[in-house]
Amino acid sequence: MSNRSKLFIPAAFFLVMLGLLFYGLGRDPSHVPSALVNRPLPEFSKPALFDENQNISSDQLRDGIFIVNVWATWCPPCHVEHPYLLEISKREKDVNFVGVNYKDDVKAAREFLEQRGNPFKFNLVDLDGRLGIDLGVAGAPETFIVDATGTIRYRHVGVIDNKVWAETFEPILAQIR
C-alpha cells in the first residue's frame, strides 16, 4: 500500500464507526427481544374471568392459532387497543383471541368487557401476575402469537392497531396458517 493511501485509513475507520453508531441510533432501545419466542407457551391453569369456579388451562389452547393478549383495566393503552381488538377479532375468524386479565380488579374487568364488547374467546384471570412472569411480561398490553403446535411465534409489546396488525401480525400469521 502506498503511503498516500494509508492516509485514508483513519478516515475509513471513522466512517465505519459513524455507520455503526448511526445504525445503533436508529434502533429502538426499549425493544427487548423475548426469550420465549419459538418456545412452547408456558403451562398454566387459571380461573375463568366470567366463572371463577372454572379453570382455563394451557391444554385448552390447542388446535389452532391463538392470540394471547395481556391486558388490564388500569392500563390506558389497553383501552386504546380494545376497539381494534374487537374489530380484528370479528374479522379474523380462524384466530382465537385469549384475554389474560393481568393483576386487575376482576369486577372492573368483567364490566369493561360487558360494556365495551368482548373480543376474546377465552378470558382468564392472572390475579397475582404469576402467569405474566412465566410469559416474560414487563407490563400491559403485551400480545403473543401462538401457533397450532402451541409454540410462541411472536411477542408484541404495546398497542395493537390496524397498522400494527397489518404490518406485523399479518405476515407472521400468513407463515403459520
Cβ nearer to other proteins, comparing 144 with 165: 144
32 binds other proteins (CB under 8 A): yes
* Least gap, CB of 134 to other proteins (angstroms): 6
Residues 68 to 107 in contact with other proteins, rule: CB under 8 A: 103
* Least gap, CB of 31 to other proteins (angstroms): 10
Give how many residues touch other proteins by CB under 8 A. 17
Cβ nearer to other proteins, comparing 133 with 148: 133
Q: Is the dihedral of CA 104, 53, 99, 62 positive or negative?
A: positive
Q: How far apart are CA 23 and CA 141, in angstroms?
A: 28
Residues 35 to 64 in contact with other proteins, rule: CB under 8 A: 35-36
SS3 content of the chain, % helix, strand, coil (to 5): 40, 25, 35
| Three-state secondary structure call for residue 116 | helix
Position among 77, 117, 139, 150 found at the interface with other proteins (CB under 8 A): 139
Q: Which range of residues in 25-33, 44-52, 59-67, 81-89 is near other proteins by CB under 8 A?
A: 25-33
Q: How far apart are CA 19 and CA 39, in angstroms?
A: 34
- CA 161 to the chain's CA centroid: 12
12 binds other proteins (CB under 8 A): no
Position among 2, 5, 30, 53 found at the interface with other proteins (CB under 8 A): 30
Q: How far apart are CA 160 and CA 140, in angstroms?
A: 12
- CA 56 to the chain's CA centroid: 20
Q: How far apart are CA 20 and CA 91, in angstroms?
A: 42
Positions touching other proteins (CB under 8 A) are: 29-30, 32-36, 103, 129, 132-139
